[in-house]
Amino acid sequence: MSGNDTRFVSGEGGELHQLASGDHVRMTTAQGVVIGDDQNSLKAGPRGPVLLEDFVLREKIFHFDHERIPERVVHARGFGVHGHFELTKSLERHTRARVLAKTGERVPVFVRFSTVVGNKGSMDLARDVRGFAVKFYTEEGNWDLVGNNIPVFFIQDAMKFPDVVHAAKQEPDRGFPQAQSAHDTFWDFISLTPESMHMIMWIMSDRTIPRSFRMMEGFGVHSFRLVNAAGESTFVKFHWRPRLQSQSVLWDEALKINGADPDFHRRDLWQAIETGNFPEWDLAVQLFTEAEAERFDFDHLDSTKIIPEEVVPLQVIGKLTLDRTVDNFFAETEQVAFCTQNVVPGIDFSDDPLLQGRNFSYLDTQLKRLGSPNFTQLPINAPRCPFANFQRDGHMQMHVPNGRVAYQPSLLDPSGPREDPRAGFTSHPATIAGPKARHRSATFADHYSQARQFFLSQTEAEQAHIVAALVFELGKVDTLPIRGMMIAHLHNILPQLGERVATGLNFQGEVPELGQAVPTRTDLRPSPSLSLLAKFTPTLKGRKLGILVTDGADGEVVAKLEAAMTAAGGLTEIIAPRIGGVTLISGRTLAADHDLQGGPSVLFDAVAVVASADGTTMLQHDQRAVAWVHDAFQHLKVIGHSAAALPLLNQAGVMPDDGIVNLDRAGVSAFGAAAARGRIWPREPLVRTMF
């Protein structure tokens, strides 16, 4: 590092601890009690549940939950919509939860998508994890599946959650950067937290700049339990798979979209639902027993690990459809309260320490944010099934209970609510044994192997994007030793990865050697399911075509493009030099959805230029038009053009390839086939620096 008086040692769980020659100020609780371990929750055994008596964890999370009012501390920028879930394959063998056992019923849901780090006023296309939270209003009570669009997380123990968020948020002395991880404090924390390396591969991938909420996967992250009527337990992981497939934007696109339309994701989802193009996801599960889990070469209770689909295949069991926008953003999207502890009989928790901490944290957060324990009475949070209890009074009590009895047992009112041992929720009676202590299970200690597997599972283009993202982010870090630490971690993942990032940074400093609690495995085979591009199949469904049209253009070509997109399930928008539209060669006026400034090519999946000769000459003198075409080419999009528009393409630096289609010669069908394949990836090395 930067001096001879600093060194790092690996802890029990592989975490790095910094040692220095001088004494540190001792960390204490708010009551002044010295903290002996700020890395691990108090558990019953290394893999056991977190204990309620852990006052250090409770105080740390409690204070963190109350840092912001009234905005959410994390996931502040969100967008919610209504829909329904329909089970298509019963899991009755594994669970008594009716929502997962009874097929053919439509269960109402409310879904909130969000970014994590930014405040409410931040932009949609920040590089960030996306929240994917689903509230099921089941006939047995509300079930909240509170997930992300990434299946792993930064940390293994909820004790570190305030730390990772504090590090990622804007730096407290200056209040910036907003909604970005490209700064010193984030990478300072990450460089000393080896368990985060798998998550870093995911967050630096294109998954954190999705094209649309509609084209985004979702994951429950943790292992949960399903419990059947006989009391038998099966572990489960939940996956949402978009029927439109997954798609992302390029980083340069994300930057420009944020400027052109900071509400890009919100607008996209709103417009899709309002036009009847309802987004759909398949709900899939990975099911496995305790005995099967013991044979895994990783620990399924570790939230920094995935269960590869090659190990436990996905089973599709249902469909989620989003079909109604909210009536009032504040009343619904802002006041909705998700809690991981909200489960129904037949769904139970695993001993994942991050999940256990979330179960405490979410309820406490909602109490602070919404100001009352009666937040469950708000319409968006209230169950749709009958409910009754003896909870009374409190701020903003909206119910008016009658009678004199608010307790049980009671002879005065024996007809009041009573527990039901048969139908009620019961926890799975798992056997727990182990010393009560703050520790990290040794089974959590492999921090690099799955990170390596993820990187090697990506296509060449996706790997290049991860490298470029790391170069960009670490290039914003002013503290050179932090860069050196991160290059060392990347080298532990894959030496070539560390070398590529070091080259991109032109790093000349010292790269420390970091020991590993568990050596990086090189025998994990790539998993194609981890790559967005490897599993993509051609489609135009849900995609958007932007057509730049000028006066004197051939309206028949425009009409054919629109018809082809409609038939394929896509959308078309018209861009003109002026918002008033254009006069076609037929004399008909064609209205425009945007002018050149309001409809940049970054907003579309593919583009076409249908221009007359005179119109092309006019566009060549308009730098907005030149930039419109240039950006589309730089962003690897398929570009269709009339023969008369070719001079504009030449001026914009467009070079012929499989994605440049002459509409007059090849026709609309050839353009549609090319556009359905997505981006022209072989073009990328020609248009940007590749590390």
* Active site amino acids: 75, 148
Structure-token match 């329909």, residue found:
86
CB-neighbour burial class of residue 442 (10 A; exposed 0-12, middle 13-18, buried 19+): middle
For the chain, the first-to-last Cα distance in angstroms comes to 25
Q: Using an 8 Å Cβ cutoff, are 227 and 47 in contact?
A: no
Q: Which 3 state secondary structure label does DSSP give 433?
A: coil
Q: Which 3 state secondary structure label does DSSP give 8?
A: strand
Beta strand pairing status for 218-219 and 224-227? unpaired
Where do the H-state alpha helices sit in 371-425?
none
Q: What is the C-alpha separation between 301 and 81, in angstroms, rounded?
A: 31
DSSP string, 305-368: ----TTTS--EEEEEEEEEEE-S-IIIIIIT----TT---TTEEE---HHHHHHHHHHHHHHHH
Half-sphere exposure (Cβ direction) of 510: Cα atoms closer than 13 Å: 8
Q: What is the C-alpha separation between 244 and 320, in angstroms, rounded?
A: 13
Tokens of residue 227, six digits: 């419990």
Q: Which 3 state secondary structure label does DSSP give 115?
A: strand
Q: Which residues pair with 44 in a beta bridge?
A: 436
Q: Which 3 state secondary structure label does DSSP give 448?
A: coil
CA torsion 117→120→126→127, rounded to 10°? 20
- The conformation of residue 228, written as its DSSP 8-state character, comes to -
Tokens of residue 175, six digits: 């209040």
Q: Beta-strand (E) ranges in 479-558? A: 544-549
Structure-token match 């200690």, residue found:
445
> Cα dist. 170→167, 177, 184, 311 in Å?
8, 5, 10, 39
Q: Using an 8 Å Cβ cutoff, are 607 and 545 in contact?
A: yes
Q: Using an 8 Å Cβ cutoff, are 317 and 284 in contact?
A: yes
Q: Which residues pair with 549 in a beta bridge?
A: 610
Q: Using an 8 Å Cβ cutoff, are 184 and 115 in contact?
A: no
Rg (CA), the chain: 27
Structure-token match 């592989």, residue found:
14
Overall residue count recorded for the chain in this entry: 691
> Cα dist. 544→273, 559, 566, 604 in Å?
15, 15, 10, 5
Q: Which 3 state secondary structure label does DSSP give 487?
A: helix
